[in-house]
Chains A and B, each alone.
Chain A
Amino acid sequence: MIDIYSQLPILLIAIPLFAAPVCVLLGGRWLTYLLSVVVCGTTFAISIGLMQQVIKYGPIHYEIGNWKPPYGIEYVVDGLSGFVMMFVSALAAIVLLYGKPSIDAEIPRSKHYLFYASYLLCMTGLLGMCITGDLFNVFVFLEISSLSSYALISLGRTRRAPLAALQYLILGTIGATFFLIGIGLLYQMTGTLNMSDIANRLDTETGPRTLLVAFGFMTVGLFVKMAVFPLHSWLPNAYTYAPSVVTAFVAATATKVSVYAFIRLVFGIFKPEFAFEQMPLGTLLLTLSLVGIFIASTAAIFQDDVKRLLAYSSIAQIGYMLLGIGMATTDSLTAGIVHMFNHALIKGGLFMVVGCFVLRLGSSRLSDWRGAAKTMPLTSLAWAIGGLGLIGVPMTAGFVSKWLLLTSAFESNHQLVAGMMLVSSLLAVVYVWRVVETLYFSEQPSAAAKEASEAPVWMLVPMYAVIFAVLVFGVWTQFSAGLAAEAAQSLLPLDLVPTAPTVSPGGTP
């Protein structure tokens, strides 16, 4: 009989990939919806199974077609990729479970089966980027997820949706092509595409200048996909005009997976010594992310459309993850990874809340949300809790990552960064609270809010599952921080020696 455990890595990718064309074959709305939910659920279950195996026995290697690694494509599940895959598949499943009424309301019925097919393909692409151990394969999966997300975004109701998708497509393609150039140069230098093989063969200390070029191209390419300031311009429009369900899914997962790919690139392929000592990646990341956090958060404050507000907030939050990477200590990397997870939860949850409001109020403009807390108390409460998470109030997940980031900044003597980080997070208070006030403390409820009713139960339940998770992972940190710490430990076992002499704690001069 087939040994299901040893085949889990490929099933994770193959099942949704297989299900997508089945959706097209089936057509219709209900059948494809059920199939997609079942497939997403299965995928989630598989990713949990994989994670368990990883925790028990260490990294899993799977050879596709039984071709040995440097030549064949290898799938690798380790602590980091397993962790990322787990929350990506979990959010994909939950968002889909939640999204039926929203999908019905926002997407033309004749296109539903195509929507589900694209959704599954997008998830496949994201999971594939995580699991594959082959660099070119990363590009392929990156494009699978990108292409399907362009299609998903263009399904938005307004005429701006196709334009937003096109803008994303142009920038995304340029980013992906940059990444491809980098892969080509690496292949030229090493003659292999297997990531660990490249890492072994790459002489990062005395390597040729081509190395720098490759690194530059790949970094910039991923920066576009991560929406790092100043390459973020595609993101606000894409998130704003996409259907709410798509926004919830893409915002929660897509940029995180790109961050994951970036972490792999920096710590797995190029050595951190190369990236942070020979290349000024640390300074670059710290500067870009701090500037980005300030500018994007400020921009978020002035948005009237809540989706756009959250989109700008996402750009800012990516900055926090990059801060964690940029400080390049084991602890800061842990903080960055934890923030990936926490932010995926929080942003996913908040966009789900937005979806509920859009369903009932017909708009994501803040002025239409006035006084909606009266008629939609549960949804509004979910926003308040999620918003607290975004601000980083204690007992929410956002606090955990912020605290970890803060302590690691102090440990690596980046006090200035720590201070700016804290000040910048105050901006989040402003933009989150604007919405809370509008919801709860508006004297004149909008016409839509007066007549609105509470969102349907089967949207509320999955949404509250995510919101509840925000609270749970704010208290129970062993899971998220523990797994992240292990992953960071394996990527960066020793902190880089700081180049500038600093006063080390505990040492007497």
Chain B
Amino acid sequence: MIEWTGSNAIWIAMALPLLAVFWVFLFGNVPNLREAGSIVVSIVLFCVNVSLSKLVFRGGRPEFSFGEMLPGFELNFVVEPLGMVFALVASGLWVLTTIYAIGYMRGHHESNQTRFFACFAAAIFAAMAAAFAGNLFTLFIAYEIMTVSTYPLVTHHGDAKAKAGGRMYLGILLSTSIAFFMFAIVWTWQLAGTTDFREGGILSQAFEENRISSVLLAVLLGLFAYGIGKAALMPIHRWLPAAMVAPTPVSALLHAVAVVKVGVFSVLKVAVYIFGIDLLADTGASEWLCYVAGATILLGSLVAMTKDNLKARLAYSTVSQLAYITLGAALATPASVVGGGMHIAMHAVGKITLFFCAGAIYVGAHKTDISDMRGLGRAMPFTFGAFLLAAISIIGLPPGGGSWSKWFLAVGTVDRGMYFLTATLMVSSLLNIAYLVPIPVRAFLTPAGQEPMKINEAPLMCVVPLCITAVGSVLLFFFANEIYSVLEPIVGVQPDPS
């Protein structure tokens, strides 16, 4: 038997989604068996991650290595708290999304469901690999696998619009990662002689030895920030709205959780473990990134307000929210980094709820435009109720989980003395209210249009997951302290041994 150790758990966690891929292909013609397998695997994966997290949060750093893939470059996996949180969020939400996707896909009679579920599992595999990646090289490989495996999901419908969206998606993500990310990794490797993620960063020595100036450090950071196109920093955010042509479960899991979070997660990891927050703070190399992130926060929110299509609005909202996390990395203070890490979880749970709701509205009422949703709240109370809860969390109002992460980010801006950015955060929150809250409010309070109300809630398999996530986003408010304490070690604070 395989002994239950941390390092075994790592490869098991990565093997499970792959198993799901094969399972789905194997039983592609037997929908029930195919989907039952997906659910079982996702639940098992979550349990594995939970048990692994206990070890990690106590201060363990399990490792697993596939050995050198290329001379000097190992396929190496190390679990640290940030990655663990990300893995927990992704795998936990995968369970719900799978259930939701079954309801959605069946309710919609989508074609090519086998390809859909297989690619879905492959994307989760990539997310796990990215979360556990022990060095930049491994992270890069996981990142690219995710790009390629999600492309068929984006172009799922196969029409001209999907094709254009897919082209934008693949074009931006692949080209930025090849042109910038890869370049930055090799540059880092040349400077530091390694690409391992280490506490305190690996570039400080090169800087002390004058092999790189602070200006070039800023350039390198830029290569990373824009190379990781999944972080959707303006002006390379266009792929994210374009990817909204995908079926809603895809948008929900991938473009609220897995794909985009891999992006910001990578940015955080690079800032913390490659540059080291001390180096960033001392050299000011990340200062420009703070402003770019701030601009993205504001512009994303502003654009979101102009969108009438619900998914497009949520997409721009995501662009804006992702920039919060990038900002957390760029501010490079302990509070901001931890806040950024928390926001990964908070935003993931909140945003997936919103997308679930969008999908449920589409399945139940066949509506995609916000202006058509008047009075729908009475027909779909659970859906819009959940929407409201999640919106509160995203905006950052208590009792939503998002309030904590935004608080720590704001603390970070004050620590760095960037009051201008503090103001930006506040303005952005106001904008969030402006573009999110009216949707449920209008749905509940305005009377329905002239058409007769024959609309019911979406199928149970759609509604249950979104209620769970909505409740989750509120619960996170109360468990914020736990998340904070498990994330603290990434900025050098040792965990409480008790």
* A residues neighboring B (CB under 8 Å): 388, 391-395, 400, 403-404, 406-407, 409-411, 415, 418-419, 422-423, 425-426, 429-430, 433, 437, 440-441, 443, 475, 477, 481, 485, 503, 505-506, 508-509
Does A477 lie within 8 Å of B70, measured CB to CB? Answer: yes
Chain A proximity mask over B165-182: 1 for CB below 8 Å, otherwise 0:
011001100110011001
Does A441 lie within 8 Å of B155, measured CB to CB? Answer: yes
How far does the Cβ of B128 sit from chain A's closest Cβ, in whole Å? 15
Q: Which residue of B lies closest to A408 (CB)?
A: B186
Does B158 lie within 8 Å of A440, measured CB to CB? Answer: yes
Question: Across the interface, which residues of A come within 8 angstroms of B191, CB to CB?
Answer: 505
> Which of B82-90, B141-149, B424-432, B447-455 touches A?
B141-149
Cβ 8 A contact of B158, one of A394, A403, A441: A441
Q: Which residue of B lies closest to A407 (CB)?
A: B186
How far does the Cβ of B380 sit from chain A's closest Cβ, in whole Å? 33
Does A426 lie within 8 Å of B145, measured CB to CB? Answer: no
* Distance in angstroms between the alpha carbons of A406 and B211 in the assembled complex: 19
* B residues neighboring A (CB under 8 Å): 69-73, 140-141, 144-145, 148, 155, 158-160, 162-163, 166-167, 170-171, 174-175, 178-179, 182-183, 186-187, 189-191, 193, 209-211
How far does the Cβ of A489 sit from chain B's closest Cβ, in whole Å? 12
* Best-surrounded residue of B69, B158, B167, B211 (most CB of chain A within 10 A): B69
Does A429 lie within 8 Å of B145, measured CB to CB? Answer: no
Does B70 lie within 8 Å of A404, measured CB to CB? Answer: yes
How far does the Cβ of B390 sit from chain A's closest Cβ, in whole Å? 33
* Distance in angstroms between the alpha carbons of A407 and B184 in the assembled complex: 11
> Given A429-B175, A481-B70: A422 and B182 within 8 A (CB)?
yes
Q: Which residue of B lies closest to A422 (CB)?
A: B179
Does A419 lie within 8 Å of B183, measured CB to CB? Answer: yes
Does A388 lie within 8 Å of B186, measured CB to CB? Answer: no
Cβ 8 A contact of B141, one of A395, A419, A430, A485: A395
Question: Across the interface, which residues of B come within 8 angstroms of A393, CB to CB?
Answer: 144, 148, 174
Does B163 lie within 8 Å of A437, measured CB to CB? Answer: yes
Q: Which residue of A lies closest to B138 (CB)?
A: A394
Does B70 lie within 8 Å of A410, measured CB to CB? Answer: no
Does A508 lie within 8 Å of B209, measured CB to CB? Answer: yes
Question: Across the interface, which residues of B come within 8 angstroms of A425, CB to CB?
Answer: 178
* Distance in angstroms between the alpha carbons of A509 and B211 in the assembled complex: 9
Does B186 lie within 8 Å of A418, measured CB to CB? Answer: yes
Cβ 8 A contact of A394, one of B145, B175, B179, B186: B145
Q: Which residue of A lies closest to B137 (CB)?
A: A403
Q: Which residue of B lies closest to A409 (CB)?
A: B186
How far does the Cβ of B113 sit from chain A's closest Cβ, in whole Å? 15
14 A/B residue pairs, CB under 8 Å, sorted by A: A393-B144, A394-B141, A403-B73, A403-B186, A406-B182, A415-B187, A419-B179, A429-B171, A429-B174, A429-B175, A433-B170, A441-B155, A441-B158, A477-B70
Does A388 lie within 8 Å of B148, measured CB to CB? Answer: yes
* Best-surrounded residue of A429, A477, A503, A505 (most CB of chain B within 10 A): A505
Question: Across the interface, which residues of A come within 8 angstroms of B211, CB to CB?
Answer: 503, 505
Question: Across the interface, which residues of B come within 8 angstroms of A505, CB to CB?
Answer: 190-191, 193, 211
Question: Across the interface, which residues of A come within 8 angstroms of B148, CB to CB?
Answer: 388, 393
Question: Across the interface, which residues of A come within 8 angstroms of B170, CB to CB?
Answer: 429, 433
Q: Which residue of B lies closest to A403 (CB)?
A: B70
Does B179 lie within 8 Å of A437, measured CB to CB? Answer: no
Question: Across the interface, which residues of B come within 8 angstroms of A391, CB to CB?
Answer: 174, 178
Question: Across the interface, which residues of B come within 8 angstroms of A406, CB to CB?
Answer: 182-183, 186
Q: Which residue of B lies closest to A392 (CB)?
A: B178
How far does the Cβ of A437 sit from chain B's closest Cβ, in whole Å? 6
Question: Across the interface, which residues of A come within 8 angstroms of B163, CB to CB?
Answer: 437, 441
> Given A394-B141, A475-B69: A410 and B178 within 8 A (CB)?
no
> Given A403-B70, A505-B193: A395 and B182 within 8 A (CB)?
no
* Best-surrounded residue of A441, A443, A505, A509 (most CB of chain B within 10 A): A441
6 closest A-B pairs (Cβ-Cβ)? Answer: A394-B141, A410-B190, A441-B163, A394-B144, A426-B175, A422-B179
Does B189 lie within 8 Å of A407, measured CB to CB? Answer: yes
* Distance in angstroms between the alpha carbons of A434 and B158 in the assembled complex: 14
* Distance in angstroms between the alpha carbons of A392 and B163 in the assembled complex: 22
Question: Across the interface, which residues of B come within 8 angstroms of A426, CB to CB?
Answer: 174-175, 178-179
How far does the Cβ of A397 sit from chain B's closest Cβ, in whole Å? 12
* Distance in angstroms between the alpha carbons of A505 and B210 in the assembled complex: 11
Known: A425-B178, A477-B69, A505-B191. 19 other contacts (CB 8 A): A392-B178, A393-B144, A403-B186, A407-B186, A410-B190, A418-B186, A422-B178, A429-B170, A429-B174, A429-B175, A430-B171, A433-B170, A440-B158, A441-B162, A441-B163, A443-B159, A481-B70, A505-B190, A508-B209
Does B141 lie within 8 Å of A481, measured CB to CB? Answer: no
* Distance in angstroms between the alpha carbons of A388 and B141 in the assembled complex: 13
Q: Which residue of A lies closest to B175 (CB)?
A: A426
* Distance in angstroms between the alpha carbons of A411 and B191 in the assembled complex: 10
* Distance in angstroms between the alpha carbons of A407 and B72 in the assembled complex: 10
* Distance in angstroms between the alpha carbons of A426 and B183 in the assembled complex: 13
Q: Which residue of B lies closest to A430 (CB)?
A: B171
* Distance in angstroms between the alpha carbons of A403 and B68 in the assembled complex: 14
Question: Across the interface, which residues of A come within 8 angstroms of B140, CB to CB?
Answer: 394
